[in-house]
Amino acid sequence: MPDPLRLVAALIVVALGTRLSAWGDETPKSGSKVFPYPAQITVLQNGLKVVAVPFDSPGLVAYWTVVRAGSRNEIEPGKSGFAHFFEHMMFRGTETYPRERYNALLKELGADHNAFTTDDYTAYHILAPASGLETIMTLESDRFM
């Protein structure tokens, strides 16, 4: 099996899984009008769905983490904004990577990162040189533990 760090030019974690879940158990075929790119979908033992999509953009990686919770999940009457609040809290850093260190490591890579909240999910994304994928995965796995 090829080294997964070199297998894809774009790595999308769970993000595409959220989109694909709309089709139930049926995954669209490669080249379909719905999603025209081949997708390699792997479900890890812990249930995390990893979706890798090769894309002709040599040297770049797009890394997405999608949490299947958005503003629609805020069910207490008169109380809203928690999904967006938690999105912002995820940028405050961790014990291992405080905010300043997290941001410095991404800056060293030349990465661009951000997040957004919708009704159905919250997405965190990083665009960086592919050589930084291991660092990105280390940072994000720590942030989402």
| Cβ-contact 74, 135 below 8 angstroms | no
**Local structure of residue 90 (DSSP, 8 states):** T
78 phi/psi in degrees, rounded to 5: 80, 0
SS3 of 112, please?
strand
Give the rounded distance of the alpha carbon of 115 from its chain centre: 9
- Active-site positions? 87
